[in-house]
């Protein structure tokens, strides 16, 4: 079995660091960490505008059907320290120690290729077994929803939510294989959302609250990435031509200006969700997109809307991953369209009481290491406030942290 398998499903929860720290806390300290005041914690707790909470220790919440008040009970480990916990600590120490050796990290791809392609009998199997039981086991609890579910249940018991991540990265593919692979990836996304929804159903059946499971979507796995790059070029050339000088206009330029690759605008939908029947000659004149791109972009928009509807039915948050900056304007445009459609709070009923709402469904990824980040996030907040939808923010340092 290949160690690096495209399409592996993994939990993006900074698992190793928190596992190591949590085990140390549980086994070496009697202190119990408390949640911030005002935030209920426990299985499926809620934090405004965020679907997840990472906490060490904390308190466990039980649903009391006889009272409107929450009764917080101390969180206690379900089991005493055992040998397996110490093995995890040792594994974490070895893995992170190895990751701190620059020559080893720099030469890791070459070393791995050498050992897995060696003519020595059994060396490939031995290498894969070692890597799977060390680095792979440290960061990747499974390659499908079924394999990830036990870890999700374990994390939920410790008041930690999970994000399923389908690592269908952009690849160099022939045109004959591209559509087949895109459809296979789309089906895998649906299977993952189905599994995540079933997990949330089980949590609710046990008396927990729904809404702490999310799915991170890589859009480049569902379309030819070159089309997204060309669409992004068209978007960047179209925005200056359509910006209005009137501050109240929905097409007004953001103030202060947002550095490259900019921030999404309502006009971007003319590129990524181009109306059917329009030949798009005006957009083609901008020398970005080419013949056939508009149809593919429109198909992708239909797929994303269907995914959003399915995720909503299953009660699973949908996070749009950030990718290379030359794809980002198109990805931002799709995130904006999805947010406008799925992140609007329900209208109040005739009695003046709004129906149950679990916050935004769609989350955009905001990368703090980009120079555009402060102005980009500010512009996104202003747009959400003026347009009446909730802004879902997945704030990361770089690509994964």
pLDDT 10s digits, 61-100: 334 443 334 333 333 344 444 556 788 899 999 999 999 9
Residue 83's pLDDT is what? 52
Alpha-carbon gap, residue 157 to 299, rounded angstroms:
40
Residue 250's pLDDT is what? 55
Alpha-carbon gap, residue 20 to 23, rounded angstroms:
5
Q: Kindly list the domain boundaries of the chain, sorted by start residue.
A: 1-27+84-140, 142-242+255-347+357-400
Radius of gyration of the chain (CA): 23
Task: Assign domain 142-242+255-347+357-400 to a CATH class.
Answer: alpha beta
Position 376 pLDDT exceeds 70: yes
Position 36 pLDDT exceeds 80: no
User: Any idea which of 208-217, 287-296, 390-399 has the lowest mean pLDDT?
Assistant: 287-296
- pTM score over 0.85: no
Of 204, 213, 154, 161, which is closest to residue 41 (Cα–Cα)? 161
Position 31 pLDDT exceeds 60: no
Residue 139's pLDDT band, with cuts at 50, 70 and 90, is confident
Residue 323's pLDDT band, with cuts at 50, 70 and 90, is very high
Residue 260's pLDDT is what? 93
Average pLDDT of span 89-116 = 93
Residue 336's pLDDT is what? 98
> Phi and psi for 345 in degrees, rounded to 5?
-60, 145
HSE at residue 315, side-chain half, CA atoms within 13 A, is 16
Average pLDDT of span 270-275 = 88
123 by Cβ neighbours in 10 Å (0-12 / 13-18 / 19+) ranks as: middle
Q: What percent of the chain has pLDDT over 70?
A: 69
User: Any idea which of 54-58, 64-68, 318-322 has the lowest mean pLDDT?
Assistant: 54-58
Average pLDDT of span 266-288 = 79
Tokens of 4: 């690096």
Residue 207's pLDDT is what? 85
Average pLDDT of span 213-236 = 94
Residue 61's pLDDT is what? 39
């Amino acid at each position: 079995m290949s160690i690096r398998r495209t399409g592996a499903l993994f939990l993006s929860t900074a698992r190793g660091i928190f596992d190591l720290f949590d085990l140390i806390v549980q086994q070496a300290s009697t202190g119990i960490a408390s949640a911030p005041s005002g935030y209920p914690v426990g299985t499926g707790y809620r934090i405004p505008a965020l679907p997840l909470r990472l906490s060490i220790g904390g308190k466990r919440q039980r649903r009391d059907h006889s009272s409107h008040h929450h009764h917080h009970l101390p969180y206690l480990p379900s089991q005493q320290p055992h040998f397996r916990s110490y093995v995890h600590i040792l594994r974490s120490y070895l893995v992170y120690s190895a990751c701190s050796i620059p020559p080893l990290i720099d030469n890791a791809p070459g070393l791995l290729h050498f050992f897995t392609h060696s003519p020595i009998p059994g060396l490939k199997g031995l290498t894969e077994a070692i890597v799977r039981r060390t680095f792979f086991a440290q960061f990747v609890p499974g390659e499908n929803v079924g394999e990830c579910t036990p870890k999700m249940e374990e994390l939920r018991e410790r008041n930690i939510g999970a994000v399923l991540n389908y690592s269908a990265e952009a690849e160099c593919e022939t045109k004959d294989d591209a559509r087949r692979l895109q459809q296979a990836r789309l089906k895998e996304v649906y299977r993952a959302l189905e599994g995540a929804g079933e997990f949330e159903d089980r949590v609710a059946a046990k008396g927990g609250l729904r809404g702490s499971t999310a799915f991170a979507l890589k859009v480049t796995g569902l379309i030819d990435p070159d089309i997204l790059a060309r669409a992004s070029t068209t978007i960047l050339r179209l925005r200056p031509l359509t910006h209005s000088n009137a501050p109240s206009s929905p097409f007004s330029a953001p103030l202060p200006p947002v550095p490259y690759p900019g921030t999404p605008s309502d006009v971007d939908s003319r590129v990524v969700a181009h109306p059917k029947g329009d030949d798009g000659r005006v957009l083609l004149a901008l020398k970005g997109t080419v013949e056939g791109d508009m149809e593919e972009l429109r198909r992708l928009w239909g797929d994303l809307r269907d995914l959003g509807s399915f995720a909503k039915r299953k009660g699973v948050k949908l996070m749009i991953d950030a990718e290379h900056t030359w794809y980002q304007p198109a990805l931002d445009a799709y995130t904006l369209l999805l947010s406008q459609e799925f992140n609007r709070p329900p209208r109040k009923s005739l009695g003046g009481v709004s129906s149950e709402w679990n916050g935004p469904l769609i989350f955009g990824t905001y990368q703090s290491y980009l120079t555009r980040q402060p102005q980009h996030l500010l512009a996104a907040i202003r747009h959400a406030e003026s347009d009446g939808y909730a802004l879902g923010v997945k704030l990361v340092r770089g690509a994964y942290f």
